[in-house]
Each structure stands twice: as structure tokens, then as C-alpha cells.
Amino acid sequence: MFGTSIHWTTFFYLLVDTFIVLFAFYQSKRLKRSGLKRYLYLGLLYIIYNFTGGFLPFGSFSGPFILQYIITYTVAITLCIYLIYYLYKEYDIIILRFQFSIWNISILVSLSFLVLFLIPYFITQSLFVARLLFTLPIAVVGFYFIWAFIERIKKHPASNSFTSRRNTLSIFSVSSIVLLPILTAIGDYQWLTFSVMNIAFYAVTTIEIERYLYFLENKGKMFEVFALYKANKNKLIDSKLIYQSLTRREIEISLSILSKKSYRKIGNEFFITERTVSKHASNIFKKTGVKNKVEFVKRFTKKKKWTFFP
């Protein structure tokens, strides 16, 4: 299309992703949801990925031919690492923390790109050889990662439909990343590679929609909590009480606490330790002006029916 190498499917994904990101940006401003910032960054990376991967390599490019591949591979690597980071931060899906920390993944992939792709390319002048040497070892690590990821999920069965769907969609996202090296090694089947990669973004988008709907379904439980913010949002912050918006994770944990779940059960549900749940709960109690879990549940479960959601 347009005299370039971009396939119509990639151009379609480029348009769809741009629309989604613009709509999410508009909604975040309209609803004042700062929690969508990471999602917007992820969407922006997908737009850049579709653009560079679709239009490059460009025949009339004035620089070295390999420079175009360096650009596209760098964008793809950045996107994959950020997507893993996104899942770590947004959904607390943390497995094999030491081996698969974001820092370790970044170092591993960057060094592999240098040693197994760039150096072999300059030696052999063969893009095919460089691709194989780079992608196959990364694919092996990737499949081990997805295996460990699924094993981690299986150890903690979902306690509700929202968590179950989130787990399934997260597996789709991670699987797309793992398949990228294999698809790259196979060749330039742009329609296939970009279809698989964009599935990951649409899975994450579905998770965000599911999260929002989950909050709406439980708006009754959170009514008084949000009402407290409205009543105190203009008050000065003192040393004991902190009136500010709950994060999305804190809202989820608040709902679980109001459902009278134990910290251990909440931790299993969200793949975090009991200590981390306790830390989140402590922040929630400070922000809502209560002393402990008992007072929080007692204060915010008095009314049975609500008709307003701030």
C-alpha cells in the first residue's frame, strides 16, 4: 500500500489502535482517570510498532539498509518488554521475580540482539542467518516463560468471573509476545505477525473494559467510599489523614475487603503476597480516615441500596 511494504491488515490495525488510544485519552480526561496512563503508553507503543514495522524497510531509504531493521526490532523489543512490565504493574502477575525481572529481561534481550543479530549480520551479511541466531534462543526462553506463567496462574484458581477472564486474557497477551520470535524467524509474513501481536493489545484493552464494568457492578459497595472523597477533596492534608483518590488496585482490594475476604484470599486472587495486601489495605484505611479493617467494613457497609456512582 502507498508504494511501501505495509500490508493492508497492518494499516487497519494502525487505524484501529490509533482510534482506541485517542478514545481512551479522551475518556481519561473526561472521567479524570489518571490510572489509564500506562495503558495509553502501551497503546502509543503499538501505534509506533505498527507504523515502523509496516512501512519499513523502505526502498528509497537513504541510510544503511540494516538501520531500518535496527529501528523496527528496537521498537518491537521495547513493546514486548513494556507489555510485560504493564502486566507486572497493572495486574500483579509476578512470576520468577529474580529470573524474569524487567531489568533482567531487558539486559537479556538487548545483549542477544547485539551478539546474536547485529554481529552475525555484519559477519555474514545474511539477514536470514541473523534472524535465526537471534530469535530461536529467545523463543526457547519465551516458551519457558509462558510455561511458568501458566503454572503460576493454575496455583491460584480465580475466585470470580472477572479474575478468571483477566487471567485468560493475560495468557493471550503473553502468548503473543512469546510467538513473536518464531514468527520473525519464519519470515516477513506481515499480516500474520502483526495480527498475533495486536491480539495482545486487544486482550489488554478487553481487560481494562472488564475492570471498568466490574467497578460499575460493585458501585454500591464503593458508594460511601467515593462519597467521602467528594466531601473531603478540598480539605488540607494533615499528618494523619490523606484524602486522595484510590488507585485501581486499591479499589479492587477495597471491594474484596468489603466482601469480607481474608488478606490471604485477596492475595491469592490478585497474585500478591499477604503482606502486600496488608500494605494496600493500610493505604486504603489512611485515605478513608479509618483505623483498621473492622472499622472500614463497618463504616462502608451500613447502607444496602445506592443509586449514585461518582
Residue 219's Cβ-count burial label (10 Å; 0-12, 13-18, 19+) is middle
Amino acid at 184: T
| 42 has a pLDDT exceeding 50 | yes
pTM of the model: 0.76
Mind listing the pLDDT tens digit for each residue in 207-260?
Answer: 888 877 777 776 655 555 555 555 554 443 333 333 346 777 788 788 888 888
CA 164, chain centre distance (Å): 16
Q: In this prediction, what percent of the chain has a pLDDT beyond 90?
A: 28
Span 103-132, average pLDDT: 91
Task: Cell 447502607: give the residue.
Answer: 303
Q: How far apart are CA 56 and CA 7, in angstroms?
A: 11
| 126 has a pLDDT exceeding 80 | yes
- Residue 46 is predicted with a pLDDT of 97
- Residue 167 is predicted with a pLDDT of 80
pLDDT band of 155, cuts 50, 70, 90 = low
Range name among 20-24, 92-96, 149-153, 159-163 with the lowest pLDDT average: 92-96
Q: How far apart are CA 33 and CA 38, in angstroms?
A: 11
The runs of H, that is alpha helices, within the chain are 8-30, 37-55, 65-91, 102-112, 119-124, 127-154, 161-186, 190-217, 219-232, 248-258, 263-270, 274-288, 293-300
Q: How far apart are CA 19 and CA 25, in angstroms?
A: 10
Amino acid at 47: I
Q: Which residues have CB under 8 Å from 20's CB, separation 6+?
A: 43, 201, 205
Which of residues 26 and 149 earns the better pLDDT score? 26
Q: How far apart are CA 208 and CA 90, in angstroms?
A: 10
Range name among 28-32, 151-155, 168-172 with the lowest pLDDT average: 151-155
